[in-house]
Structure 1
Amino acid sequence: MTLPLDEAVPPMDPPPSPPRRARSAGDPVKALLHRHRELCEHAVDPLEIAAGLEAHGITDRTAARFRHRDVFSLAEELYARTPRDGTPPAPPAGIPVHAKAVRGFGYALLPGALALGAAAAGVPWAGALAVLVTVAALGRPGRAAGGRFPAAVYLLAAAALGWAVHRHGTPLGTALAVAVAPGHLAGAVFAARARRRLAGSRALEDFADGVRPLLLGTLALYAAAAAGAAVLAGTTPAVAVPLAVLLLLTRLLLGHGAPRGALAAALALVLALLPVPAAPFAAAAGVLVPAVLALSRASAHAQRP
């Protein structure tokens, strides 16, 4: 006796489905791109992205988690993957770079010319004028460090220079005003060479190792120029040179928007107010270390409008 076919052969269970593949961990670079979309969309080149990532605490070691050997390689991928409608971002519109440099140097000559003219004319407020024009040459208030401390830095700079000129006479103020022009050149050369070194770097540590001696060499040359300005104005270089170096470092920290740079400059200027002979030298030495650390970061050299 035969059984019906459906009873003779028991129904077979459906074959087990193949194990579902575990979902991939996703695209970490895409997540990073989403997190820093504004930075990537407004960057002129990958170097700006690298500097911005470093400012957010991403180092070469962190880049390894995104399967990149360094921050620069990661920035290049972020730049390439940022949608731009087929056209690269245009650089900030405005006055050409060479015209800005010429105009800036012309402005840098004004403080020394005004201070020398007032001192030669024997006007009673020549020292105050020298302090005013020297402090004004530090830059634009509110531009640096996110606008957190620059107003206080300007007030402290005026107080420190006013106190020094009160103690040592108008020639000191004149020397500092004359030193504005070489200070402008020193800052411009340092910024250009640091930017060029940034373009040729492949690791943040290599960039920092190259920028530190560049900054120290720039300061040494500027100190020699400040000493010449002191001799020209008829004051002692022992006081004028430390104050001039302090002002140059303050200007660099403000102009490059270095993190916590304005605060370091403010503390050094407070130290310069102490009524002791070594105060200017101690203030310049005190701001040197934080300035070297801050200005050797790639984020301090991103292009700014």
Structure 2
Amino acid sequence: MSAPLRLLPGGADGSARTETGDSLPTLPRPRRRPKWAAPDPLDELAERLADVCAGAVHPYEIAAVLESDGISDEQITGVYGRRDLFAIAEELYARVPRRYPQPPLADDPWRADGVRCLLRGLVFALPGVAYVLAGHLLSGPADGYGLPSGTPALAAAALTGWAWNQALAHRAYLWLAARGRRGAARCLLAGAPAGTALACGVALALPGATATMAFVAGQAVYLAAATALLVLGSERDLLAALAPAVAGAIVLPVTHAPQWARTAALLTSLVLAVAASARRLTTAARTPAGPGGRPRPPLRSVPFGLFGLAGGALTLLAVFGDVLGRAPGAAVHGPLAVALTLSMGPAEWSLYRYRSRALAALRHTSTPGAFRRRAGVVLLGCLGGYLTVLTVLLLAAALLWPSAAPHDVASAVALPALGAVLWLALLLQAFGVAWWPAALCALAAATELALTESRLAPPDAVRAVTGWCTAALLGLLARTLLGRVTAHR
């Protein structure tokens, strides 16, 4: 194998020579334009097309731009002094250094609206004031657990309404995407009355006083109206409708108002909610239909209804679990449930935040492994941020209502576990993974109920262990499925 050629000093003519004595061709020296010479028109053309020339990967791209600009043969030979269009393109390509500008960043489609998320958190939590005003309607002889006799009917109706309206909301959102507001309105007009009738029928099958059944019916009607307003993006209307009940819950107990005043405050909010939903639905039903076709069959919404049922059961167990398990000093933890529902606004914001940061990670990573690691960090960060907010709300509820304060470690970590379960389940649902979260939450609710009723362990310990085990499974599922690049496209 021969050695590489080595250049030796050249001769008087400036040429270089190799060790064998062969001459190499002399490179032409760049000619400098005299100061008195007229400017080359090609310089002006190179300056005008600088961005095109810098981003071109072949002279033919520049030639295509020149041709689209309408350059003529007379200009090529007379003005620029070149033989043809491709000669100009090749010279421009050689003159302008390559630089490939990065495309401008697209707008973030997952930018969260903080005000809207705050409003949704409020409208999720404020209906709890109805139970403060309705104490005279829910009172009655105590059952075996020390609760009013109408509590099973109230809980059954609430679970039915949550399950039905969760599935209905998903179905309405599918119609909203396919046929616009008109499709969503027609879906809600057909499904909301059916859900109300179903919840009332379930309640009537269980024992309860007439006043309790009236409250159950009002609760079912309100859930249907609230679902319609939230799907149509009318959170402010729902907040305005809740104003009389909130004001009554603050003022009437302090002033020792008669029972009819409390009932009037409840009815006023209910009428306002129904009127607002009827107005919005009527307006939406008259809008032109979108260009899409019919969404997929209703079976696709079943797992969302199952999740609504399971999530409601887990929440009720957090409120009444100590009573059902007959724990020492058992009490109803209503204030803690209010803190949990109030945290749903920050939960929604953090879900948007996760999608936004995951999209940014997709843009700034070049391998699937790097994206998987970065997406895992984003997942932990957003979940940790939500749990921090939930913990602050729980501490505030404990300060305002000392009777609701956790009495041991298990009770202190039980409700954050439920918050983690709900957040991770909602995250998976946002990415189209519906059956797994619904099944795991239903399994957790059934396990908690069975262990609480059997009294094999303290209710708080049961909720804490079951909740964190379910959250770990959901987190592993989210880490696996959402760590794929294709999940975010």
Give the alignment's TM-score, normalised by structure 2. Answer: 0.36
Q: Which residue of structure 1 lines up, in the alignment, with residue 443 of structure 2? A: 270
* Aligned-pair CA distance for 1:233: 2.5
The aligned counterpart of 1:108 is 121
* C-alpha separation in 2, matches of 1:224 and 1:138: 29
1:99 to 1:187, Cα distance in 2 relative to 1, 3 A: closer
- 1:226: how far off? 0.9
Residue among 337, 351, 376 paired with 1:212: 376
Structure 1 residues 175 and 223: alpha-carbon distance in aligned structure 2, compared to 1, 3 A threshold = same
Q: How many residues align?
A: 205
Contact residue 249 and residue 291 of structure 1 kept, 8 A: yes
Counterpart contact for 1:156–1:269, Cα < 8 Å: yes
Q: Alpha carbons of 1:131 and 1:164: their partners in 2 closer, same or farther (altered >3 Å)? A: farther
What does 1:31-180 correspond to in 2, within 5 Å? 102-115=115-128, 117-118=129-130, 121=133, 123=135, 140-141=169-170, 147=301, 149-168=303-322, 169=332, 170-180=334-344
Q: Which residue of 1 aligns with 2:479?
A: 292
3-state DSSP class of the match of 1:149? helix
* Comparing 123-132 and 278-287, the one that deviates more: 123-132
Give the superposition deviation at 1:105.
4.3
Q: What is residue 244 of structure 1 aligned with on the other side? A: 419
Task: Give, in angstroms, the shift of residue 171 of structure 1.
Answer: 2.1
What is residue 354 of structure 2 aligned with on the other side?
190
Contact 2:166 2:304 in 1 (8 A): no
User: Structure 2 counterpart of 1:245, which letter?
Assistant: A
User: What root-mean-square deviation, in Å, do the aligned CA atoms of Structure 1 and Structure 2 show?
Assistant: 3.8
Q: Which runs of 5+ in 2 are unaligned?
A: 1-105, 139-150, 175-298, 323-331, 399-403, 407-411, 453-458
Say if 1:223 and 1:244, in contact at 8 Å, map to a contact too.
yes
1:248, CA displacement in angstroms? 0.4
Q: Secondary structure at the match of 1:198?
A: helix
How far apart are the structure 1 equivalents of 2:436 and 2:342?
26
Structure 2 CA distance for aligned equivalents of residues 134 and 230 of structure 1: 23
Residue 253 in structure 1 maps to residue 407 in structure 2: no
Work out which structure has the larger RCO, using CA pairs closer than 8 Å and 6 or more positions apart in sequence.
1
**How many Å separate the matches in 2 of 1:228 and 1:134?**
26
**Deviation, structure 1 residue 191:** 1.0
Residue 227 (str. 1) matches residue 383 (str. 2): no
Counterpart contact for 2:306–2:438, Cα < 8 Å: no
Q: CA deviation at 1:151?
A: 2.4
CA distance in 2, matches of 1:193, 1:99: 11
| Aligned equivalents of 1:109, 1:137: Cα separation in 2 | 18
Distance in 2 (CA, whole Å) between partners of 1:138 and 1:201 is 37
The Cα of 1:174 is off from its aligned counterpart by: 1.0
Aligned residue type for 1:279: T
What's the % identity of the aligned pairs? 21
Deviations 1:158-187, CA, capped at 9 Å, x for gaps? 222222222152123212101111111211
Secondary structure of the structure 2 residue equivalent to 1:202: coil
Deviation at 1:139, TM superposition (A): 10
Instruction: Select the structure of larger CA radius of gyration.
Output: 2
TM-fit CA distance, 1:107:
2.2
Q: Which moved more, 1:179-188 or 1:128-137?
A: 128-137
User: Residue 44 of structure 1 corresponds to which residue in structure 2?
Assistant: none
Shift of 1:155: 1.8
Matched with 2:8 is: none
Classify the secondary structure of the residue corresponding to 2:170. coil
**Aligned residue in 2 for 1:77:** none
- Cα distance in 1 for residues equivalent to 2:167 and 2:413: 22
Q: Distance in 2 between matches of 1:248 and 1:190?
A: 11
* Runs of 5+ unmatched residues, structure 1: 1-90
Instruction: Give, in angstroms, the shift of residue 203 of structure 1.
Output: 2.3
Q: 2:367 aligns with which of 179, 189, 203?
A: 203
> 1:79-137: per-residue Cα shift (whole Å, max 9, x none)?
xxxxxxxxxxxx9xxxx97796654543233112333x346547477996998999878
1:282 to 459, 462, 469: 469
How far apart, in 2, do the equivalents of 1:222 and 1:206 lie?
A: 25
TM-score, reference length from structure 1 = 0.55
SS at structure 2 position matched to 1:300:
helix
User: Cα offset for 1:225?
Assistant: 1.0
Q: 1:190–1:215: 8 Å Cα contact kept in structure 2?
A: yes
